């Protein structure tokens, strides 16, 4: 569970909500003026409609699954994984049988599949090729998901402006020279601007940060899987555990290294 | 048929239309004020004119064909294709004659062409080279089509603003200090803003989502064809069906894998 | 001659011009208010000045040559070229002498140079290297030209806004509480906005579409030259015409293929 | 310590502060109108909230560490490093024992690790592979940090506008035709615009320049490490110091070269 | 000396200045209203402050050197260079001694260094490696300089808007319902907008075109140096001058080729 995401949303919503309430008190207007169902419908509905046009149904329906992944966060701590791979290296040097027995202890499914290929006797080239292709196409699939949120982050402000334009046009059409013109204009424009507000808020507090999060998770998962691929290949080559550690350590920051030798630079 | 696209357009248009009607009722103005043929002409006409300048006539005339492709959607379910390739692998191991007989059952034209090359005795390098070039240049051709829609998505709001500027200039030029000045200004500005509204709507509900859809379809088709290329090469190398499945499974998400071994990670 | 470009410009100009005339009639103002020589001077002059700063004199002076290329369009029909290369392949298999005699019939200068290299006995690696370098650096040179138009498309709206700011500042400075204030403001703002209008129109009806056109032409020419390079190399390798056709067909869409075998997918 | 960063911030803040004070004096208004805690809270709080959603907690918590790195600056003077590597080359040619003894004098941790690998007898391929992977993944980790600041630079103006919209809506809602309407509108809009001001200032004086700085530091560190990698490999190959110098000189500008031969161009 | 840059700046400044004077005369206001030292200070000072934060002090201090390079322009005429390399090829075939004697006649420092390496007996791989690294890292260093100007082109309009916001806030705060309200508002807004004007002008007439110029110069210099690298390698391989010319001709446009054979296409 990555609490930063949850905290971020709570703080952001609380902050904007609080600001609205405080400004409302200061200007002696109820904060309920910000509750405009039609405006919200235009922004969220329009954004979802544009997204449904832009992406395959299958992807759109996965939004909930993706959201859960965003909140769960990636446990990208690579240090223990380095230890596990090095340990498996020691096992693998005994023989494929020992490695097969040890497979049950492996939790990371990608590492498990890689070690299984070592047990099954795939060549280093085949392992690198198969695992590499998996990484490449996983990245591509997940990029589609990140793009989906990025697109929502672009559509939301656009529909915010579209909604504001609708409001403005009617306000302007109805504009007359009457006594309370200023009041009518003011009220009309306020309502119209709320749609822009919704669009900007949805984009900048939800869709765009989530798209960014997905991108970071994709890149972090690829680092992990590339490290595993490299480690499994070294295992298949029966390299000495010290060399295995030295090599896959190069994927993680020096401050997280565990090794005997002193001196490490980034 | 990808219903998401159709549903998206219907929902989007219905939503914006509904919002206009509701706002119209609220402000006691007919929603017909939004029907401005000149504004629509400026936006759509200007966009098409700019697109005709920007792209070869041949591409512009294909807009309808492309639109159909957008609505038809890509059937990117790769699971069955994996099965088909693995099955063909079993056939291919019997001999080229058996493979030739089985060719009629193959529906995917790209797979068919690839298998035909196996039958014709092309080398693995030649197959990979020829099919790879096909994928690369198909991508390039289809990118031009996606760029065409992207360009329309950029030109539409620009011509919306150009139309609004035309309306504003005349409104401002005619501005006088008369009795009903406010009413005249309001009406003039409203009409001017409708052009901006058209531009923003066309871009965000049609052109940009469709460009995005094309990009997703291109990438999804390339995944499929790269998988087929890999599979056909493995066939030509007479690899064991189990290895073929393992290798081409790496193109699809683990949750769609069919295989004997347990344990699979993305 | 690519008529789309010409038609696009005529339609675009006619449409915007027509809209101005019609709006003028509707608001009983002469459309001549849109003829503001100073505004036009600021936008076009400023854009050209910025372009002269941004690009080498040599490139700026070639604008006319580039414009002609845009209008002439690229004849990117690759089908006949495939036929020609395959035919040359048949000739080349007879001997270099026959190929030399056939060279006069070749119209495409890039193909001619390639075949000349076959006649001169260059190796496949040398041919691929020399022709590949030509394609790469032609692309780079032409990208500079496309960037020149793209830059103009960015500078034009910027100078439109700069001109509008100049107009606004003077209008605002002279703003007083007099009788005809509204009329003066209106007229001043209208004039100021016309500069923005010019900038937006020049960018979106001329510079940006032309930059896009150049990009499409560059990519289309590279496809053609890469196909020729591949074809010439196959000729030098004395490959069978059927294989030559199969290989270079992979550069063009299946619907344009001419070949004996049935069944073709994109 | 890179004083440019500190000077830049002091000058920037002083300049904007001074301009506010001077404008305040000129318009006989206290500059304290710019102190709007709610506005500041919306912009900074919203930006941090969005950033917490967008990036893993771990990265967000490292902001302070990153800030320190920005201020410390990169000591990218490569000339002395060239000398050091060449000198180590002379030592390495004597034997691994001499090199090991000389290791203590090496300050750069990346160079030290590389030389240690020479001592430990890693092959050139292994050294290039391990050090190359370290450079690649260090770059990727640091890019996440630069992206974090870039994202803040995008979120800040967005929340500035969101805050302004909140202010505008209340101001417009409360707009009436009373005596002091102009004064109320003016004051309300002024307060609303201050949020936009905060957003623009934070983005353009802090977040965006800092993101840019991080990018320059990343690229400069990679140049340094690539040069070290190349140098260490040449050492392992026991190349002549003159060739080592010639080769790694190619990473730095000719005007910083130290060598016997005359004539050097960029 | 690339006169285009100088002419561009003179024309641009003259044009905008002239437009200001003419508009001033038309609206009976002195053009001196555009001389706002505080506004100019905010824009240029803010931009420089942000740049000092964003780039290492060393780069910022080189702005003057870079400006000179922009004005001097790149002499990218490659035709004579082709002749020189071919001629050196003839000399090199006689022996390294003759080449060494001819070195004094070589003006281009990059070519001179390359030929020196031929004289010194470096292998083709070493030459290509060393010269290639020089090109790569020269490009990277110069990209930092281009990015510096690009960044200034982004900061200038931002500080223009920041300055305008400061002016607007004070104007709005002081807004009262007095007699000459319109005049006060007008004058205040005019002054405020001048800061935006400065930012837009500095960016679009100076910083952005200069950044673009640097990019073109970088790419043009790389073409030249890549051509030299190729030529020097061919010399070291003792290739026939005709082949040398054919090969390095591929870096330049066919219309600049000098050769015996007729027929040349781009």
Question: pLDDT tens across D39-56, in order?
Answer: 999 999 999 999 999 998
Coil/strand/helix, residue C191: helix
Q: What is the pLDDT of residue D11?
A: 94
Mean pLDDT, chain E, rounded, equals: 89
Q: Please report, rounded to a whole number, the percentage of residues in chain C having pLDDT higher than 90.
A: 66
Distance from CA of A26 to the nearest CA of B (A): 29
Q: Per mean pLDDT, which range of D34-38, D149-153, E134-138 is the poorest?
A: D34-38
The answer to which of B153-162, B170-179, C51-60, D86-95 has the lowest mean pLDDT is B170-179
Chain B closest-CA separation from residue C72 CA (Å)? 11
Give me the pLDDT at residue D21, please.
93
Tens-place pLDDT, residues D237-250: 999 999 999 999 99
pLDDT-wise least confident of A88-102, B72-86, E112-126: B72-86
- Class of residue D252 by CB neighbours under 10 A (exposed 0-12, middle 13-18, buried 19+): buried
- Contact: E212, C113; criterion CB under 8 Å: no
As a whole number of angstroms, the distance between CA C33 and CA C27 comes to 12
In whole angstroms, give the CA distance from residue C186 to residue E175: 21
User: By C-alpha distance, which of C130, C254, D56, E191 is closest to A212?
Assistant: D56
The answer to whether A1 contacts chain D (CB < 8 Å) is no
Kindly provide the ipTM of the predicted complex, given to two decimals. 0.90
> What tokens does E56 get?
């290492």
Q: Convert chain E into a string of H (helix), E (strand) and C (coil).
A: CCHHHHHHHHHHHHHHHHHHHHHHHHCCCCHHHHCCHHHHHHHHHHHHHHHHHHCCHHHHHCHHHHHHHHHHCCCCCCHHHHHHHHHHHHHHHHCHHHHHHHHHHCCCHHHHHHHHHHHCCCCHHHHHHHHHHHHHHHHHHHHHHHHHHHHHHHHHHHHHHHHHHHHHHHHHHCCCCCCCHHHHHHHHHHHHHHHHHHHHHHHHHHHHHHHHHHHHHHHHHHHHHHHHHHHHHHHHCCCCHHHHHHHHHCCCCHHHCCCCCCCCCC
Share of chain B above pLDDT 90, in %: 66
SS3 category, D107: coil
Task: Reduce the DSSP state of residue C118 to 3 states and report it.
Answer: helix
Mean pLDDT of D188-201: 94
Q: Which of C42, C204, C145 is closest to E205 using CA atoms?
A: C42
The answer to whether D74 and E56 have CB atoms below 8 angstroms apart is yes
What does each C-alpha distance from E32 to C54, C192, E16, E198, E218 come to in angstroms? 29, 19, 14, 14, 40
Residue B265: what pLDDT?
42
| Interface residue of A103, A120, A163, A170 to substitute, partner B, most B CBs within 10 Å | A170
Q: What does chain D come to in residues?
A: 266
Confidence class of residue B68 from pLDDT cuts 50, 70 and 90? confident
Three-class SS of residue B256? helix
Q: Are B243 and B256 in contact (CB under 8 A)?
A: no
Contact B265 A177 (CB under 8 A): no
Is the pLDDT assigned to residue E203 strictly greater than 80? yes
> Chain C: residue nearest E247 by CA?
C130
**Cβ contact (<8 Å) for A264 and D158?**
no
pLDDT recorded at residue B199: 97
Say which of C11, C26, C250 has its CB closest to residue B133: C250
What pLDDT score does B72 carry? 79
- What is the Cα–Cα distance from B6 to C43, expressed in whole angstroms? 43
- In this complex, the residue of C41, C155, C173 whose CB is nearest that of residue E33 is C173
- Mutation target for C interface from B122, B164, B165, B178: give the one with most C CBs within 10 A: B165
Tokens of C46: 């400023």
**Taking CA atoms, what residue in B is nearest to A156?**
B204
Query: In angstroms, rounded to a whole number, what is the distance separating the alpha carbons of residues D234 and D236?
Result: 5
**pLDDT (mean) for D140-151:** 94
Q: What is the pLDDT of residue D74?
A: 61
Question: Which tokens go with D215?
Answer: 């990018």
What is the structure's pLDDT at A60?
84
Q: Which helix (H) or strand (E) holds B219?
A: helix B208-236
Q: How confident is the model at residue E112, as a pLDDT? A: 95
10 Å CB burial of residue B28 (0-12, 13-18, 19+) is: exposed
Q: What share of chain A in percent tops pLDDT 90?
A: 67
Q: How far is CA A179 from CA A185, B160, C123, E178, in A?
A: 12, 34, 90, 20
* pLDDT tens digits for range C87-101: 999 998 888 889 999
Q: Tokens standing for E89?
A: 């090829």
Which chain E residue has the Cα nearest residue D209?
E54
- pLDDT at position E17 is 94
Say whether E200 and C161 touch across the interface (CB within 8 A).
yes
Tell whether the torsion through CA atoms of D61, D67, D73 and D76 is positive or negative.
positive
SS (H, E, C) chain A: CCHHHHHHHHHHHHHHHHHHHHHHHHCCCCHHHHCCHHHHHHHHHHHHHHHHHHCCHHHHHCHHHHHHHHHHCCCCCCHHHHHHHHHHHHHHHHCHHHHHHHHHHCCCHHHHHHHHHHHCCCCHHHHHHHHHHHHHHHHHHHHHHHHHHHHHHHHHHHHHHHHHHHHHHHHHHCCCCCCCHHHHHHHHHHHHHHHHHHHHHHHHHHHHHHHHHHHHHHHHHHHHHHHHHHHHHHHHCCCCHHHHHHHHHCCCCHHHCCCCCCCCCC
Which of E5, E12, E36, E253 best tests the C interface by mutation, with the highest count of C CBs <10 A? E12
Segments in chain A below pLDDT 70 = 1, 73-76, 177-179, 259-266
Q: Which residues, 6 or more positions from A46, have their beta carbon under 8 angstroms from its beta carbon? A: A155, A158, A159, A162, A163, B12, B15, B16, B204, B205
Judged by CB atoms closer than 8 Å, whether chains meet at D73 and E54 is answered as no
In this prediction, residue E70 carries a pLDDT of 84
B9 — phi, psi (to 5°)? -65, -45
Number of A to D CB contacts under 8 A, please give it. Answer: 193
Q: Going by C-beta distance under 8 Å and a sequence separation of 6 or more, which residues neighbour residue E215?
A: E146
For residue D231, the chain E residues in CB contact (below 8 A) are none
Judged by CB atoms closer than 8 Å, whether chains meet at A12 and D54 is answered as no
Token reading at D95: 């034997």
**Chain D contact set for A184 (CB, 8 A):** none
Best residue in C27, C128, C194, C247 for a mutation probing chain B (most B CBs within 10 Å): C27
Is residue B132's pLDDT more than 70?
Answer: yes
D33, two tokens: 């109108």
What would the mean pLDDT of E164-180 be, rounded to a whole number? 83
Rg of chain A on CA atoms, in Å: 27
Chains that touch A (3 or more CB pairs under 8 A): B, D
Torsion of CA A201, A203, A209, A210, to 10 degrees: 120
Chain C residues touching residue E208 (CB < 8 angstroms): 50, 54, 154-155
Q: Are B146 and B218 in contact (CB under 8 A)?
A: yes
Window 147-186 of D: residues touching E by CB (8 A cutoff) are 179-183, 185-186
Out of C144-153, C255-264, D104-113, which region has the weakest mean confidence (pLDDT)? C255-264
- What pLDDT does D192 receive? 93
Distance separating alpha carbons of residues A103 and E158, to the nearest angstrom: 58
Q: Is the pLDDT of residue E36 over 50?
A: yes
pLDDT-derived band at B262, boundaries 50, 70, 90? very low
pLDDT at C62: 87
More confident residue, C60 or A235: A235
pLDDT at D141 over 50: yes
A217-226, B53-62, E165-174: segment of lowest average pLDDT? B53-62
Q: How far is the C-alpha of E72 from the C-alpha of D58, rounded, in Å?
A: 49
- Measured distance CA(A124)–CA(A116) in Å, rounded: 13
- Give the Cα separation of E197 and E157 in Å (integer): 8
Asked if D131 contacts D231 with a C-beta cutoff of 8 angstroms, the reply is no
Nearest to C85 by CA among C251, C254, C260, C265: C251
Q: Measured at the alpha carbon of residue B188, what is the angle toward residues B182 and B194, in degrees to the nearest 5?
A: 130
**What contacts D117, CB < 8 A, 6 or more positions away?**
A246, D126, D127, D130, D131, D232, D236
């Amino acid at each position: 569970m990555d609490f930063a995401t949850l905290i971020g949303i709570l703080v952001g919503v609380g902050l904007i909500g609080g600001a609205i309430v405080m400004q409302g008190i200061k200007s002696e207007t109820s904060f309920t003026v910000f509750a405009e169902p039609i405006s919200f419908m235009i922004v969220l509905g329009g954004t979802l409609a544009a997204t449904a046009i832009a992406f395959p149904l299958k992807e759109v329906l996965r939004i909930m699954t993706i959201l859960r992944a965003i909140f769960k966060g990636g446990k990208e701590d690579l240090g223990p994984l380095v230890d596990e791979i090095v340990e498996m290296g020691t096992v693998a040097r005994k023989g494929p049988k020992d490695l097969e027995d040890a497979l049950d202890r492996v939790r990371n499914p990608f590492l498990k599949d890689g070690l299984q290929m070592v047990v099954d006797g795939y060549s280093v080239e085949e392992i690198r090729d198969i695992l590499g292709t998996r990484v490449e196409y996983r990245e591509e699939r997940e990029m589609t998901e990140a793009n989906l949120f990025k697109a929502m982050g672009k559509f939301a402000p656009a529909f915010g402006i579209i909604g504001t334009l609708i409001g403005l046009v009617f306000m302007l059409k109805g504009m007359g020279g009457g006594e309370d013109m200023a009041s009518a204009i003011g009220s009309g424009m306020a309502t119209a601007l709320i749609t822009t507000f919704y669009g900007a808020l949805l984009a900048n507090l939800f869709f765009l940060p989530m798209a960014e999060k997905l991108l970071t998770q994709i890149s972090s998962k690829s680092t992990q899987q590339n490290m595993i691929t490299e480690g499994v290949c070294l295992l298949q080559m029966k390299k000495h555990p010290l060399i295995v550690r030295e090599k896959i350590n190069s994927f993680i920051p020096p401050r997280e290294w565990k090794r005997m030798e002193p001196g490490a630079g980034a």
